[in-house]
Amino acid sequence: MIISLKINKQMKIVLFTTILIGLQTFASAQDNDIKWLSFKEAQELNQKDPKPFFIDVYTDRCGWCKKLDKTTLRDTTVVAFMNTYFYAIKFDAESFESIQFNNQVYENKGNGRRPKHELAKALLNNKMSFPSLVFLNENLQILTVIGGYVEADEFSIVLEFLGAKKYLTQTYEVFSASKKKN
C-alpha cells in the first residue's frame, strides 16, 4: 500500500522553516559548548597555532566539579572566551590512562585508596584539591592554578586576563577592577 501525500506550497514553507529553525537551534547549542580536547589533540594544535592551555582537573565523585560543569563552564561568556583564547582539556585526576604531555609520559601508579594520576600531581604541585583549574602558556609552563569552584562572572575576567595576555602589562587586581566598573 502506497500512501501519497500532497504537500501544497504553504505546507512546504512551514516544513522548510521548521527544519531551518531546528538546524539553527542545533548549531547554536554546539556553539554554547567548550571545545574539549585530549592532551594529544591540544599539543598537536599548539604546534600549528600556539595558544594557552586550560586544564579542568576534576574527579568523578566531586560535587563542586559537577556544579562547575553545569554552571560556570556553560556560561556563554565563559564558553566564548574559552573557545577563543585556549585549548581546553578535561582531566580526571583519578584516571588510569597513560598520558604523554610535554615530552614526558605520566601514569597513575595506583597507590592508595583513590590514587591520583602523576600528571595531576605535577600540574597541582601535589596539592590535590578539586576542581582545580590550571592555566598554561603556549610553552606549556604553568601560569596559575585556581583551586575550587569559581562563579562565571569572576571566571570570565580570569579567562580574558590570561587569554588576552593582559598579565604581561598589568596586575590581575587592576584588570579585574577595571572590568567590574564596566
| Lookup: cell for 141 | 609552563
Cα–Cα distance measured from residue 52 to residue 165, given in angstroms and rounded to the nearest whole number: 9
Q: Using CB atoms within 10 A of its CB, is residue 149 exposed (0-12), middle (13-18) or buried (19+)?
A: middle
Cα–Cα distance measured from residue 150 to residue 158, given in angstroms and rounded to the nearest whole number: 10
Domains of the chain, CATH where assigned? 33-181 (3.40.30.10)
Q: What is the pLDDT along the chain (182 residues), one digit of tens a residue?
A: 454 455 556 645 544 444 445 444 444 444 579 999 999 999 999 999 999 999 999 999 999 999 999 999 999 999 999 999 999 999 999 999 999 999 999 999 988 889 999 999 999 999 999 999 999 999 999 999 999 999 999 999 999 999 999 999 999 999 999 988 76
Helix (H) or strand (E) holding 178: helix 172-181
Q: pTM score, two decimals?
A: 0.81
